[in-house]
Structure 1
Amino acid sequence: MPHPTDSDTGGTTAGTTARTTEGNTEYGRRPFKRSKSHFADRITADGRDGWPVEAGRYRLVASRACPWASRAVISRRLLGLEDALSLAIPDPLQDDRSWRFTLDPDGRDPVLGIRYLSEAYNAREKGYPGGVSVPAVVDVPSGKLVTNDFQQITLDFATEWKALHRPGAPDLYPERWREEIDVVMAGVYRDVNNGVYRAGFATGQSEYEAAFHDLFRRLDLLSERLSNQRYLVGDTLTEADIRLFTTLVRFDPVYHGHFKCNQFKLAEDPVLWAYAKDLYQTPGFGDTVDFHHIKQHYYRVHTGINPIGIVPLGPDLSGWLTPHHREELGGRPFGDGTPPGPVPPGEEVPPSGRPTALLTGS
């Protein structure tokens, strides 16, 4: 998803510096490197970067195809920020100009009034030459991008946006566990979240094998950790679980085949499979996942890896709805809080993206 030639932000990017028509063909053909976010301003309670937390002021642009953006969608839902922070979902098939709003009437985002996310980047920095990534938070009044810092956005949702959290919102980044959460997330990021891309976009055998072994070594460690505890840190959901989930939920549909991460399928590891199903069936997780968007994006956009663009019909996704029995380990998903309410109207994942829509093609 990140363009291998871009100095990208870790989210999904589109296009090269020159915005050439060959951008998507470069996936998997040039060395992959993920760099720091270019726009790292923070939206905070005190507004110290010039962007104060304010209900209705900002819009989150997040592709359901992208694991980095999906973190923000899940966090927003768990914390009940839907009324305070609106959501824009671009087409999973971005072109080389950037993420596009072709799912909306007239091909424009109804709030920002733009056709391409790159317009918000250019409003912030005229002539911006880099990759255009999601998640992105845009200032609605000015139309300017505020931040695309995928690592910080969700941490700020959990801490800086507290005044706008719903009653009963969970504490996704509790102070007493932060040191351990940070350590766990660092390993997950390096070897799993980023590891699948290092393997999938490798341009040489040794590069691929190094990423492959790091990935499955880490998955084995995570499986061992989760064999006797329901969640990664403590007995409640935290940011660490969100970050692992967004890779696991894409593992069998995409990473196992498309990125050649095939030592085993997620469904073949009893612990990780049960853990992932537990999260998927928790309100705020599975109700944000669109398997159709995920498969369409990876298999049709990464033409350097899949030049014919055929989208596999499998795997059978019905297993995501089967019992997981993880409740036997104890734990309280939302701590002293409560689950989020129903998905807001207009934000529901369509039937084509759910596990019940099986083997029907595109």
Structure 2
Amino acid sequence: MKLCEIVKIMDEIAPPELACPGDPVGLHVGDPGQEIERIAVTVDATPRVIGEAVRRRVELIITHHPLTYTPLSSVRTDIYPQSLIYRIVSAKMALFAAHTNFDVAPGGINDALCSRLGIRDAEILEPTVNESLFKLAVFVPEESVESVRDAIFKAYPGKIGNYSHCSFASPGMGTFKPLPGAEPHIGVVGEMERVQEMRLEVLVAQDSLHSVISAMTAAHPYEEVAYDVYPLKNEGAKYGLGRIGALQKPMSFDGFCEMVRDVLDAEDARVSGNPDSIIERVAVMGGTGGSVMELVRSRGADAYVTGEVRHHEALHAQAIGLNLVEATHFATERPGMVDLAPRLYDRLSESGVSVVYMDDKMIEE
């Protein structure tokens, strides 16, 4: 399968528009036309991971963290991270990063963290994106409605809540007169034409509007496609960082900390709080999450699990009586990347592409 096709699938799993401003997600290294047979998924493209990828003849490394966050002035073998990029290019591998967009995305870093910790009915902790919606109305001859509708839904699923492929069609009479130079699908140049048409309506998210219109016009039989686009005030899907929900079974904070260390393999986790307090409602944020202590407390969390916090942020949690588990940056983001590997494999296996997860802990010296 070509790299550009895999990039498209990754953009469906972790849409780049969900990334925080300035976050350099996406394809960092590689030829979009390269054929890919072996993929390695990891949290970080470390020297050991890159070496193992070379040994396994991997063509694409998908990381959570980008190797570089700013443009490079050179690619030298004696400066980090340029040396690693040079090594990736020399091995003819590609490098792709799904960072804050995968933190935010459904089924991403924070949802995987909830799954591991047994948190149910999880909600978004800190909303970051509210999807803007548009109504697309296109006028189609009756015999072409299904083909145009199918083309639209291939570009965007037409979701309303828990339903997809939602549309509405109403009949009407279309009129037009082809002018000199036109090549009409129906009718004759210079003569008024009346055609039984359908007004086909669908909801489209703003970020998909251009691709939907392109797919629609390509499938439409008319030389000139008549369509309208209306901005809507309907609330679209919400996305955001972190999650908050209820434990399947309440437990003491001491017992909760033991469970977190066990399921996340986070022996180095640091904790602060009352060991005897009962934990029912838990907030999580993979990676760095020290800036939202007040938000976590205001949402009624009894405990907060994140990857790392600054000293004054830990003091803030203590001051407001918030039980805190700092489970390390890597341990809170690893589950999401572990889960990504089989998700990708399910999408790519029929094309003969293998997908494995690897990190420094798994690779022998």
Q: Greater CA radius of gyration, 1 or 2?
A: 2
TM-score for the superposition, normalised by structure 2: 0.24
Greater strand percent: which structure?
A: 2
Give the TM-score, by structure 1 length: 0.24
